[in-house]
Amino acid sequence: MFSPTLVPAGPAPALPLPAGVEAGFGLPKWRRKRRSENASMAQFFEVHPDNPQGRLLKQAGQILHGGGIVAIPTDSSYALVCHIDDKGAAERLRQLRQVDEKHHLTLLCRDLSELASYARVDNRQYRLLKHATPGPYTFILEATKEVPRRVSHPSRRTIGLRVPDHRVTQELLALFGQPLLATTLIGPGEEEPMNDPVEIRARFEKQIQAVVDAGACPMEPTTVVDLTHDEPVLVRLGRGDPATLGLGSTE
């Protein structure tokens, strides 16, 4: 009778790796390169403008907490935002806009209860703020010590603050738990703000970390009012009606 010869068990012989695959990685080089490129491209969150998906806004908030820059919709135009305490992110924000330290960055606040932590406001100023918020206005106010010097005006120690009237922005601020440092999304050398999230992604997808797409926004910046003087001073006429504050147009 035939008796099979028993061979002691041992490791299976190594099979040759497919072309283009390196040991220890398991993915062809072209696929690993594409994965690396995708990791550096901006994430795109499409949300409903009136009922935004919380899970997507939470992901955007996590990117901000991690030092990222995110393009978000507001009631005036799209804006670039980052964490107020992140020095590197604030510097990249200025670089993207190609503005210097004298350009006022803005704190986006959920409501007036957050303003007191970042700006000195008297009763007269508060009444004006209450009358015009939320809305497409930016107010220049004296900054408190809570505001890092790198984000306030270097000589005047002032900061721009505003409360946007946009559901997505409000929901993001609520989930984030604190104001966001922001600047209007205007391309370098341009004058008009951007309001098309698809175009924003195409132009900045390797410079920012995420885009929150809630559809088109108005293509008009905020009206800027300086409240650090005895009387309010209209600095820039934008989407907000200065008559709401008892001011005339600069035109």
Q: Does domain 43-245 have CATH number 3.90.870.10?
A: yes
Mean pLDDT of 51-70: 95
Average pLDDT over residues 18-22: 43
* pLDDT for the residue 153: 61
The predicted pLDDT at position 30 comes to 36
The Cα 208–Cα 55 span in angstroms is 20
Q: What's the whole-number average pLDDT of the chain?
A: 82
* pLDDT (tens digit per residue) in 77-105: 999 999 988 989 988 988 998 887 777 78
* pLDDT tens column, 176-232: 999 999 998 988 888 888 889 999 999 998 999 999 999 998 888 899 999 999 899
| Pairing verdict, β 233-236 and 223-226 | antiparallel
- Residue closest to 76 by CA, chosen among 160, 181, 195, 174: 195
Model pLDDT for residues 28-45, shown as the tens digit of each residue:
443 344 333 444 688 999
Q: pTM to 2 decimals?
A: 0.79
- Asked whether residue 106 carries a pLDDT value surpassing 80, the answer given is yes
85's tokens: 């305490």
Q: No. of H helices and E strands in the chain?
A: 6, 11
The pLDDT tens digits of the residues spanning 123-180 come to: 999 999 999 999 999 999 998 887 766 666 655 788 899 999 999 999 999 999 999 9
User: Is residue 2 over pLDDT 70?
Assistant: no
- Tell me how far apart the terminal alpha carbons of the chain are, to the nearest angstrom: 110
Q: Are strands 158-162 and 180-184 parallel, antiparallel or unpaired?
A: unpaired
Instruction: Tell which residue, 112, 93, 114, 116, has the closest CA to residue 186.
Output: 93
